[in-house]
Amino acid sequence: METQKSRSDPINSLPHQPGVYLMKDKDGDIIYIGKAKDLYKRVNTYFQKPPSAKTRTLLKNIDKVNYLVTASEKEALILECNLIKSYCPRYNVVLRDDKNYPYLRLDLKQRWPRITIVRRMKRDGATYFGPFTSSKAVRETLRAMDRLFPLRKCSDHEFKNRTRPCLNYQIGRCLAPCIGYVNEERYLRLAKQASLFLKGKRKEILENLEKEMKGAADALEFEQAAFYRDRIKAVKYTLERQSMVSSDFGDRDVFGHFPTPSEKRLQVVILLIRHGLLIGELEYTLSLRRCDKEEAFSQFFKQFYFRQDMIPKEVIIPFPLEEKGVLEEWLSEKADYKVNILCPKRGDRLRLLKMAMDNARLRVETRLKESNVLEVLKRELFLSRIPKRIECFDVSNIKGQYAVASMVVFTNSLSDKDEYRHFRLEYSGHPDDYRMMEEVLKRRFSHTEVLPDLVMIDGGKGQLAIAQKILAEQGLKDIEVIAIAKGREGEEDKIYLKNRKQPLALNGHAKTLILLKHIRDEAHRFAITYYKRLHRKAIVSSLLDNIAGLGPKRKALLWRHFNSLEEIKRADVKSLKDIGLPKDVAKRLKEKLVFLNL
């Protein structure tokens, strides 16, 4: 149940119960979401103690407070994460990097197991390894696995219909189980060895391989013995290259951070340690414009694990969290085993924490050293000032349909994802990039509270002229503007400047051109991602048109709670009912998805 609370009403009417509070401005937009063990006490803290400058700014914009009561603090935490993801409030730290990290999946219960790359974990009895920090990292690991453990690569459909061995067999990357060149017992032993390798169990895998080699040699199967000998050499070589950072072979995430007050940012680095091996690291930059370091980290921590499928048994953090108890309870329930959140003061865990902290500091120092690229950019582009804030615009559409635009922002040469914006364009009809760009620029520069030092347009002379025209109409002639167009095959990208007929030629290896291309590519990625999301939703909505009881409002309800068709597919009838769909409509929806094989 949701209750509204105006600022002018007495705060005393708030209940002494756990729940989530939603602060809204005069337009009814949610600007901040928080959770509380006791709603009365938590909300009162905003109005009783002397507020910080950031809190004063928040309070100045609050028109009313809504709240939702929950059964427990843990339920409040989960609801808070869901609502922040749905509404992206202005004063919350919003983790906008919504990617799903890849995993390797191996199901030993399958008759002929194979290793596959997946983006989501399922409770299907298979073993998952990861997460890997990039597609490149997971592909490199898979290539290494192919050399060490020649399991099948083909899909189940290909496997059933194959009549002769494929090229992988010819180059020693598969044992050709599809046509009976290997028996099930030997193949399963190889699959189990692959599982041990991915789990980091070095001793067990080498012992197994040496036992297999000796058994084959004793049976005078010298070709088999040579196969296992080569596997042993390859495994030893690969293991020597891996970085062992923890002698207890434990799974843990280690969070390090480093603040940069001058930039009002907090650099966060997460070391991913699995079975004692450092398998990768993630890095995030949090804004400290509207909250302090502790609050920013706490909000980030909750959103990070809200999106994770694989949670280690131990999480190491740089300072204590006020909500440690309920966070441990939530993570343990999500993982199906006990998860501990630790803030170490000595020993091996402190060494790992210092490693993460050092990595965060080095990221910041490297960025500050490279900040002089902006001074070079100013000189090479003949700008009147250093472009500390760069905004880049791109449009995306197919034959004029689902026209969208993106704006990405780079501050001090670093992406500022809190400032990214999508635009759903009103233009429709024959594709016209000029008119689309004109629309998005008019909408952007109708708001002049924050202005860029440099505007970048993905396009050529025509798009540059449009941008100059719009800025002049808005009285913003002082803002510098450039356009960047992809070069033809074998040519470098072209940079178009105002009052210059020919495009500017920059050295292809120059840091300035690399930065500009990176910003342009990020704008393109952001636009394409939004276009695909709208297109996919439109397709799915049309497929769901004929479901009785599922009208426009209930479709909108679905998209408020689920980001993709995959999430709707995974939801059971109870989950659909919990978000507000009637039980019979939820059943019909699930039946239709099964019928369409979606």
Dump the DSSP string for 553-595. Answer: HHHHHHHHH-SSHHHHHH--HHHHHHTT--HHHHHHHHHHHHH
For the domain made up of 544-595, the CATH class stated in words is mainly alpha
Q: What is the pLDDT along the chain (598 residues), one digit of tens a residue?
A: 444 444 445 466 788 999 999 988 888 889 999 998 999 888 888 877 666 766 777 888 888 888 889 988 888 888 888 888 778 888 887 666 545 678 888 898 888 999 888 877 777 778 887 777 667 777 877 887 787 788 998 888 888 888 888 888 888 888 899 988 889 988 998 898 888 877 766 667 777 778 878 887 887 877 778 877 877 776 666 555 555 555 666 889 999 999 886 667 889 999 988 777 777 788 888 888 778 888 889 999 998 888 777 788 999 999 999 889 999 999 999 888 999 999 999 888 999 999 999 999 988 887 776 667 888 889 889 898 999 899 999 988 766 567 888 999 998 888 888 889 988 887 666 777 888 899 999 999 998 888 999 999 998 889 999 999 999 999 998 899 999 988 777 677 889 998 888 888 776 667 888 889 999 999 999 888 887 777 666 666 666 666 778 887 887 788 777 766 677 777 888 888 888 888 888 888 887 776 655 4
DSSP per position, 390-442: EEEEEEEEETTEEEEEEEEEEETTEE-GGG-EEEE----SS--HHHHHHHHHH
The pTM assigned to this predicted structure is: 0.59
What is the architecture, at CATH level 2, of domain 252-370? Answer: 2-Layer Sandwich (3.30)
- Alpha-carbon distance of 274 to 130, in angstroms, equals 8
- Which top CATH class is 2-87? alpha beta
Q: Is there a contact between 191 and 108 (Cβ–Cβ < 8 Å)?
A: yes
Judge contact between 526 and 408, C-beta under 8 A: yes
- For the chain, the structural domain boundaries read 2-87, 103-241, 252-370, 376-533, 544-595
Closest-CA residue to 115 (of 177, 199, 107): 107
d(CA 21, CA 123): 33
Q: What's the token pair of residue 417?
A: 């994802």
Please give the Cα distance from 71 to 281 (Å, whole number).
36
- Confirm whether 252-370 and 376-533 share one CATH topology: yes
Domain 376-533 classification at class level: alpha beta
Pairing assessment for the beta strands 340-342 and 421-424 based on DSSP bridges: unpaired
C-beta atoms surrounding 389 within 10 Å: 17
Pairing outcome for strands 115-118 and 30-36: unpaired
Spell out the residues 6+ positions from residue 192 whose beta carbon is closer than 8 angstroms to its own: 108, 208
Burial class (CB in 10 A: 0-12, 13-18, 19+), 516: buried
Give helix 373-380 / helix 511-543 axis angle, nearest 10°: 100
Token pair, residue 408, equals 């990405």
CB-side exposure of 437: number of CA atoms within 13 Å?
A: 24
- Beta carbons of 296 and 321 less than 8 angstroms apart: no
